[in-house]
Amino acid sequence: MSKKSVESRAAGKDIKKGAQNADSPDSDANSDRYSNIDLEWREQYNTGVAEIDYQHRYFLGSIKRIASFMASKKDHPYCQRLLMELVYYTKFHFYSEENLMMHCKYPEIREHQKLHLDLIDLLTNEVNLMAENMDEYHQFIQFLLKWFVHHSMEEDKRFATFLKNR
């Protein structure tokens, strides 16, 4: 694994801490986009793998629904269920992605699975924190968006490139 790849993966683990990588979409140059919480699908999010892109669109839509309900500060039990839906959907998506990787004999599957496990742990912890204090929802939504953009544009595109070149 290259040094850049290792650094990129390490940056993914530090998303919660606001790690900034000059080569990633969450660099200082793009901080305004995150402070405005831009939840629209962008062409650059496409991996070129239809199944993954469809699931990523659903994931981003889930973040958008959660942000909308958190901003309204009403219907707290419903928002709790949306957060749990996000956790369950993320687990489904990761299993689905890993199954595709297994089927295609992706050589970096073990590393990717480890990233998925770490991300699920991080997401679960963040959701639990949100259950206690929804006043910090902007930071939570920014965390989700940074995580989504980093993982899909770095890690998932690496897999998509593998698929195209095999």
pLDDT digits (tens, 9 = 90+) for 29-54: 333 333 456 788 999 999 999 999 99
Output the six-digit token pair for 31: 């901080």
Res. 109: pLDDT tops 90: yes
Report which DSSP code applies to 48.
S
Q: How many helices (H) and strands (E) does the chain have?
A: 7, 0
pLDDT of residue 138: 85
Count of residues making up the chain = 166
Residue with token string 């993982």: 151
Following DSSP, what letter does each residue of 60-105 receive, concatenated? HHHHHHHHHHHHHT--HHHHHHHHHHHHHHHHHHHHHHHHHHHHTT
Res. 4: pLDDT tops 60: no
**Higher per-residue pLDDT: 62 or 79:** 62
Task: Note the pTM of the prediction, 2 decimals.
Answer: 0.75
Mean pLDDT of 15-32: 37
Please give the backbone phi and psi of residue 37, each rounded to the nearest 5 degrees, phi first: 50, 70
| Least confident segment among 27-31, 63-67, 81-85 | 27-31
Res. 24: pLDDT tops 60: no
Residue with token string 């239809």: 50
Res. 73: pLDDT tops 80: no
pLDDT digits (tens, 9 = 90+) for 138-160: 888 998 999 898 888 898 999 99
Separation between Cα atoms, residue 18 and residue 126, nearest integer Å: 14
Q: Dihedral of CA 115/109/166/6: which sign? A: positive
Which among 21-25, 45-49, 62-66, 96-100 has the top mean pLDDT?
96-100
Longest Cα pair distance anywhere in the chain, in angstroms?
A: 50
Share of the chain above pLDDT 70, in %: 77
Domains and CATH numbers, the chain: 48-165 (1.20.120.50)
Res. 27: pLDDT tops 50: no
